[in-house]
Amino acid sequence: MTYRLTDEQLMIQTMVREFSRKVVAEGAAERDQNKTFPGDILKKMGELGLMGMTIPPEYNGEGADTISYVLALSEIAYSCASTAVVMSVHNSIVCESINRFGTEDQKKRFLKSLAQGKIIGAFALTEPHAGSDPVSQATTAVKQGDQYVISGTKRFISTGKNCGLVIVTAKTDESLKHRGISAFIVPKSTPGLIVGRTEDKMGLRGSDTTDLIFEDCRVPVENRLGEEGEGFKIVMKALDSGRIGIAAQSVGVAQAALDATIKYMKEREQFGQKISKFQGLRWIVADMAVEIEAARQLMLSAAAMKDRGERFTLQASMAKLFASEMVNRITAKAIQMHGGYGFTKDYLVERLYRDARVFTIYEGTSEIQRIVISDNILKDKRSG
C-alpha cells in the first residue's frame, strides 16, 4: 500500500525538516564528542509542539496522528540521533502511556507539562539482571498506607539524569509473575530516587543513559499508573509504540548516511573521474535507497494501523527489526563508500555508524522482535 500523505502531514514534515537541518544539526558533532545533552534544543522542540505530538490539545499536546509523529521523529534523527532518542522515549513511551492509562488527575499534574516539553520523561524498566526478560525484574513496590515504597536499581535509563519524571515498573506481588508488576509515576525530585552512574557509550552520546536507584522511594497511591498488576501490559503497549519510533530513528539516520554518501561520491575523484560514475558504486547506492524506502514503508504501515485503531504489535516489531538492521547495513556501506575518510571523525558517517549500533538492541533486541513476530504468526506457545 502506498501512502499519500495529507497536506497536514506534509506540512509537519516540512516544518520539522527545516527546523532540524537548521537548529538540531548545529553542534550535533560537538554534542556527540563532549556528551552534551541537547537541553536548549529540546526546549525549542517543546515550543514547536514536538514533545507531545500525539497528545490531545486539552493536555497541551498537538493532537497529531502517528504518521505525522514518525515523519517528525525521522527528521530530527536525520540531524541528531541523540536528540531523537530523547524525543522518542518522551513521546511514544512516557506521554502516551500517561495519556492512555493515566487518571485525569495524573494527566493534569504530569501530562500537561510533559506535553509542552517543560519536563522530560524517562522510562525505567530494565535492570542489571533483567533486560530482554523484564518479568524477572527485582525492584519492588510495597504498599504502606496511602503510599508505595519503591526499592531497586534500574539500568540503561535514557534521560535518567536529565528527566523531570520517570515511569518505573516494580513488583507489587512476586507470586503473580507478569501480572504482579505495576507502574508508577515518580517525579525526579522524590526523596529516595537517586541518579547512579552514567554510561560512557559508543554512540548517542548526547543523550544520557544512567542507573536510577530507588532507595525506599515513597510515592502516593495516586501516582500508580493503571491498576495494580497492570504494569507489564502498560509496558508492552508502550513498547509497541516505542518500536515504531525506533524504526523512525533508523530511517532518519539511514537517510542522512545515504545523502552524505551521494554528496561525497559527487565530489571525490579517483582514476580521473567522480566516483559517482563507477557502476559498482552506483549499484551500492541504488540498494541503499531501496532498503531505506522499504523500511520507511514498514514504518508508515505500522503507524497507519495504529492511527486506524488496529492492533499493530506485529507490524511495529517488523518495522523495528527491519529498519534497525537496515540502518546498520546502510551506515557500514556509507563508511565503505567514504574510504579512509569515513573512518575519521571529520566525516558525518562515522557518528551515524556509532549512533545506529544500539538500534538493534534497545526497546527490544532483534532477537526479541523475532520472538514477537513468530509468536504473532505461529499463534502457539514457544518453549524458549
In the bound state with ligand COS, the residue whose beta carbon lies nearer, of 44 and 178, is 178
Give min distance, CB of 79 to ligand COS, in A.
23
In the bound state with ligand COS, the residue whose beta carbon lies nearer, of 19 and 232, is 232
Contact between 368 and ligand COS per CB under 6 A: yes
Contact between 237 and ligand COS per CB under 6 A: yes
Site residues (CB under 6 A) for ligand COS, limited to 157-196: 178-179
- Looking at the annotation, which residues are catalytic? 363
Which grid coordinates are listed for 83?
536528540
Site residues (CB under 6 A) for ligand COS, limited to 135-164: 135
CA-to-CA dists, residue 57 to 12, 61, 103, 246, 256, angstroms: 16, 5, 17, 25, 32
Which grid coordinates are listed for 39?
537541553
Which positions from 73 to 112 touch ligand COS by CB under 6 A, shown as an x/- string? ----------------------------------------
What is the helix (H) or strand (E) element at residue 285, kind and residue range?
helix 279-307
Contact between 132 and ligand COS per CB under 6 A: yes
Number of residues that bind ligand COS (CB under 6 A): 20
Q: Which amino acid would we find at residue 125?
A: L
In the bound state with ligand COS, the residue whose beta carbon lies nearer, of 223 and 313, is 313
Strand partners, 150: 141, 217
The beta-strand segments (E) located in 178-240 are 181-187, 193-198, 209-220, 224-225
Which one of 38, 206, 342, 364 is in contact with ligand COS (CB under 6 A)? 364
What whole-number distance in Å separates Cα of residue 233 and Cα of residue 333?
39
In the bound state with ligand COS, the residue whose beta carbon lies nearer, of 13 and 126, is 126
Contact between 44 and ligand COS per CB under 6 A: no
Contact 65, 9 (CB under 8 A): yes
Which one of 84, 125, 193, 265 is in contact with ligand COS (CB under 6 A)? 125
In the bound state with ligand COS, the residue whose beta carbon lies nearer, of 9 and 66, is 66
- Give the other-Cβ count within 10 Å of 187's Cβ: 15
What whole-number distance in Å separates Cα of residue 82 and Cα of residue 272?
39
Contact 204, 131 (CB under 8 A): no
Site residues (CB under 6 A) for ligand COS, limited to 274-333: 313
What whole-number distance in Å separates Cα of residue 111 and Cα of residue 187?
12
Site of interaction with ligand COS (CB under 6 A):
123, 125-126, 132, 134-135, 178-179, 232-233, 236-237, 239-240, 313, 363-364, 368, 371-372
